Amino acid sequence: MFRAILRNWLESWGYHVTIAANGARAWEILQGREAPQMLILDWMMPELSGLELCRLIRERNTLPYQYILLATAKDAREGLIQGLEAGADDYLAKPFDHNELRARLRAGRRILTLQEAHIEARQELEFQATHDGLTGIWNRRAILDLLRREFELAARSHKKIGVMMLDVDHFKQVNDALGHLAGDEVLKAITRRIQQSLRSYDLAGRYGGEEFLIVLPDCDDREVRSCAERIRAVVAGEPIAVEGAEMRVTVSVGTAVLDSQTNTEREVLSAADAALYDAKRSGRNRVVASDLTIQ
């Protein structure tokens, strides 16, 4: 009856309510993917008390933070201190005063709203620290870190990693003809075409200027060449509409395959870069494979 009364109050105030008949069931709910963020726990519950549940929640120390209002008939100061030390954020004596409960829940909502804003701000900062501001893909530092991570994984599984260095041909002419803002739009369009040509777990980063580094986990020489040719063809296949004009753009690509048993990250980057230079020197709009690959 007490839970039914609480539910009616909470739903009339606009809350979505999940009911647990005992502490053990509440703990199951709290470990699910859609766990509530605001909790009203009775001190005395079957199977698992509110105090024990508070301790379990705080020991887990997960995000997002869950706000706990501990309800009890205890009115001694020792009980209040014990509940707060167990991890409760606030304390409410039974029987509840309707208005007091509503006010305390509003205070909890303010804290959770601040938490959400903090999490969003942190995620935005993390994104900005690892992604290129123009294209939205990984930035130079992040893609190199990811290459290093893939190298460590490949070393344990004895697999190879395909690496591509890609450069937009005559990009200065795009900027000179249409301006830097139009050049930015061209880079974004090329990025979209690159991403459409990759597998879901491949990694693409802006290495600098109009140059891109692409990492293909578990990829041999034939596969990396095929992917590079696909990207080259997709970029060259259709003109890019920008500033009321259509501009045909091509890319040159150098490829290499990193064998973690015989090569280093530095060696594969140097090899892919040298192959890219060969592609540009031999006429651009082509793919050149490095001979670094160890068969």
What are the structural domain ranges in the chain? 2-129, 140-289
Report whether 148 contacts 215 (CB < 8 A): no
Report whether 42 contacts 50 (CB < 8 A): yes
The pTM assigned to this predicted structure is 0.68
CA distance 140 to 137: 10
**48 vs 74 pLDDT, higher one:** 48
Question: At CB < 8 A and 24+ separation, what contacts does 280-285 make?
Answer: 280/167, 280/169, 280/252, 284/169, 284/170, 284/250, 284/252, 285/169, 285/232, 285/236, 285/250, 285/251, 285/252
Q: Is residue 12 pLDDT above 80, yes or no?
A: yes
Instruction: Report H helices in the chain.
Output: 2-12, 23-30, 50-60, 77-86, 98-130, 140-157, 171-178, 180-196, 221-237, 265-281
Q: Of the candidates 8, 63, 10, 70, which has an alpha carbon nearest to the alpha carbon of residue 39?
A: 70
What are the φ and ψ backbone dihedral angles of 213, each rounded to 5 degrees? -115, 130
Strand partners, 161: 217, 258
- Per-residue pLDDT at 234: 96
CA distance 79 to 91: 10
- Per-residue pLDDT at 2: 79
Q: Of the candidates 163, 137, 168, which has an alpha carbon nearest to the alpha carbon of residue 223?
A: 163
> What is the helix (H) or strand (E) element at residue 248, kind and residue range?
none
pLDDT grade for 78, boundaries at 50, 70 and 90: low
Is the Cα torsion angle 271, 274, 280, 281 positive or negative in sign? negative
DSSP SS3 for 12 = helix
pLDDT grade for 76, boundaries at 50, 70 and 90: low
**28 vs 77 pLDDT, higher one:** 28
CATH architecture of 140-289: 2-Layer Sandwich (3.30)
Q: Is the peptide bond before 239 cis (omega within 30 degrees of 0)?
A: no
Q: Of the candidates 22, 26, 44, which has an alpha carbon nearest to the alpha carbon of residue 35?
A: 26
Q: Of the candidates 203, 293, 207, 216, which has an alpha carbon nearest to the alpha carbon of residue 251?
A: 207
Is 28 assigned a catalytic role? Answer: no
Token digits of residue 54:
């508070």
The mean-pLDDT minimum among 36-50, 72-86, 95-109, 241-255 falls in 72-86
Report whether 41 contacts 71 (CB < 8 A): yes
The full length of the chain comes to 295
Contacts of 102 (CB under 8 A, 6+ apart): 9, 13
Q: Which of 78, 126, 152, 210 is catalytic?
A: 210
Give the pLDDT confidence of 108-148 residue by residue, as tens digits: 888 888 888 888 888 889 999 999 999 999 999 999 999 99
For the domain bounded by 2-129, which CATH number is listed?
3.40.50.2300
CA distance 116 to 93: 29
CA distance 63 to 125: 17
- Per-residue pLDDT at 294: 43
Token digits of residue 109:
């909502």
Q: Is residue 160 pLDDT above 80, yes or no?
A: yes
